[in-house]
Structure 1
Amino acid sequence: MSPTRRRRAMTEQAADAAVDQACRSLRLPTIRSRFTEIADAAEREQLTYRGFLAELLLAECDDRDRRRTVRRVRAAGFPREKWLADFDYDANPAINAATIHTLARCEWIRKGEPLCLIGDSGTGKTHLLIGLGTAAAQDGFRVRYTLATKLVNELVEAADERQLAKTIARYGRVDLLCIDELGYMQLDRRGAEMLFQVLTEREETASVAIASNESFSGWTKTFTDPRLCAAIVDRLTFAGNIIETGTESYRLAHARAARATT
Structure 2
Amino acid sequence: MSEQRHRGRTEQAAQTAIDQACRMLRLPTIRSQFGDLAEAAARDQMSYLGFLVELLMAECDDRARRRSERRIKAAACPREKSLRAFDFEANPNIDPAIIHTLATCEWGKKDQPLCLIGDPGVGKTGAPRVGWRP
Using the size of structure 2 for normalisation, the TM-score is 0.68
Q: Distance in 2 between matches of 1:131 and 1:76?
A: 16
Output the amino acid matched with 1:60: E
* Paired position in structure 2 for 1:148: none
Does residue 1:70 correspond to 2:75, yes or no? no
Name structure 2 gaps, 5 residues minimum: 89-93, 110-115
Q: Secondary structure at the match of 2:130?
A: helix
Shift of 1:101: 5.6
- 1:47 aligns to what? 46
Instruction: Look up the SS of the partner of 1:72 in the other structure.
Output: helix
Residue 20 to residue 78, structure 1, CA distance change in 2 (3 Å): same
Letter in structure 1 aligned against 2:13: A
3-state SS in 2 of match to 1:24? helix
Unaligned 5+ residue runs, structure 1? Answer: 103-115, 120-124, 136-262
The root-mean-square deviation of aligned C-alpha atoms, in Å, is 3.4
* 3-state SS in 1 of match to 2:46: coil
- Structure 2 equivalent of residue 227 of structure 1: none
User: C-alpha distance in 1, partners of 2:117/2:69?
Assistant: 25
Matched, 1:80 2:85: no
Taking the aligned partners of 1:72 and 1:129, their CA distance within structure 2 comes to 16
Aligned mate of 1:134, from 97, 117, 131: 131
Tell me: CA distance 1:55–1:36, structure 2 relative to 1, closer, same or farther (3 Å): same
Q: 1:91 maps to which residue?
A: 96
Q: CA deviation at 1:133?
A: 2.4
In structure 1, C-alpha distance between the alignment counterparts of 2:125 and 2:76, rounded to whole Å: 15
What residue in structure 1 maps to residue 25 of structure 2?
26
Whether contact under 8 Å (1:82, 1:127) holds in the other structure is: no
In the other structure, the counterpart of 1:59 is: 58
Percent of aligned positions that are identical: 47
Distance (Å, rounded) in 2 between the aligned partners of 1:92 and 1:132: 22
**1:12-32 CA distance string (max 9 Å, x none):** 111111111111111110000
Return the TM-score normalized by structure 1: 0.37
Structure 1 Cα separation of the partners of residues 95 and 64 of structure 2: 34
* Residues 78, 130 of structure 1: 8 Å contact kept: no
